[in-house]
Structure 1
Amino acid sequence: MKNQYLKKSKNWIYIAIIIFILVLDISSKYCITEYIKIYETKKIFSMLNFFHVHNYGAAFSLLSNEKGWQIWFLSIISIFTILVVARIIVKSKKKDTKKITGYSFIIAGAIGNLIDRINYGFVIDFIDVHINNWHFATFNIADCSIFIGIIMLIRINY
């Protein structure tokens, strides 16, 4: 009986991961919108700024110059991704903890950015990594979560 309870309780770890990442993502975006004006930069470290921007597109601002249809398109893709990944998690063997953890990170990031798209029509980005005058694409905690989840899955499979 005790062993069965431990197996079931393990599922809460993945839900806790998703909730933790969502709280971190939503609260960080709230703080950025409250304390940093749009297009304002706050230097954090020599290679890290907080730079408040709104991304109307996908990764690397892909589709951001469209007329608004991309918001619905990207929202549908996010919902589809969340449902597919959730199905993969449900069908996964319970011993595949690393794989399920990676998928949990992906779901959390997808939900975080979907919340922005639904609430605002854009995604709030603010993490600006740079070396001198070269800047990587600005991103957020949800994007980091998706990236970490993908890296975890790649590492498991190779």
Structure 2
Amino acid sequence: MGLVVAVFTVILDQWTKQMAVTSLSFLEPIEVTGWFDWMLTYNTGAAFSFLAEAGGWQRWFLAGVALIVSVLIAVWLFRLAPADRGLVIPLGLILGGGLGNLIDRVWLGHVVDFISLHYDRWYWPAFNLADSAITVGAAWWLLSAFFGSTSPTEKASVS
């Protein structure tokens, strides 16, 4: 199930990025609401454009890190103990998001971002569906670590 979540995440991520590249003009926002725009940007760095101006070496470094982390998560998914099955979806989201951005980094040399959130003049760094999947998966994983049971079916089977 975790690999299904990962594959679905990669497909949806790549499809939305392709839609953004073909439908949006670079750095020209299209307002959706007063705080949400579609805006095509390219990120050669990591989260929050960390290392974006590093001169090019970061492309393969970040791709290598993403590949190693993806392999480790995939192995973890295959080796999950029955008691940890509630981690399947969050790990699948993290894996799919990481692979979605890895594909961009390897094939394009940058990650395609197109979701822009802001309030007045304060802008959150642009992001994409892969980033969202990683964030949701990581938050789900952390919440499950702090609060125990990770899925409604797991709670039902314990009762």
Q: Is the structural similarity TM-score above 0.5?
A: yes
- 1:9-158 matches, cutoff 5 A: 13-158=1-146
CA positional deviation for 1:30: 0.4
Length-normalised TM-score, structure 2: 0.88
Q: Tell me how far apart the structure 2 counterparts of residues 46 and 94 of structure 1 sit (CA, whole Å).
A: 46
Whether the aligned pair in 2 keeps the contact of 1:78 and 1:114 (CA below 8 Å) is yes
Aligned to 1:9: none
One-letter code of the match for 2:130? A
Give the letter aligned to residue 137 of structure 1.
P
Q: Alpha carbon RMSD of aligned pairs, Å?
A: 1.0
1:105–1:149 Cα contact (<8 Å) kept: yes
Distance 2:4 2:56 in 1: 34
Shift of 1:115: 0.3
Cα deviation, residue 15, structure 1:
2.5
**Number of residue-to-residue matches in the alignment:** 146
Shift of residue 100 of structure 1? 1.7
**Counterpart amino acid of 2:28?**
E
Rounded to whole Å, the distance in 2 between the matches of 1:104 and 1:17 is: 5
Shift of 1:95: 4.2
Percent identity of the aligned residues?
28
Q: Give the partner amino acid of 1:40.
A: E
Q: Distance in 1 between matches of 2:10 and 2:83?
A: 25
In the aligned structure 2, how far is the partner of 1:23 from the partner of 1:87?
A: 21
Equivalent position SS for 1:156: helix
Please state whether the residue corresponding to 1:80 is helix, strand or coil.
Answer: helix
Task: Tell me, in whole angstroms, the C-alpha distance in 2 between the residues paired with 1:137 and 1:77.
Answer: 21
Structure 1: segments with no counterpart, 5+ residues: 1-12
Q: Hey, what's the Cα distance between the residues in 2 that align with 1:53 and 1:113?
A: 14
Which residue identity is paired with 2:8? F
- 2:115 is aligned with what amino acid? I
Contact 2:66 2:98 in 1 (8 A): yes
In 1, Cα distance between equivalents of 2:86 and 2:134: 15
Query: Secondary structure, in 3 states, of the residue corresponding to 2:126?
Result: coil
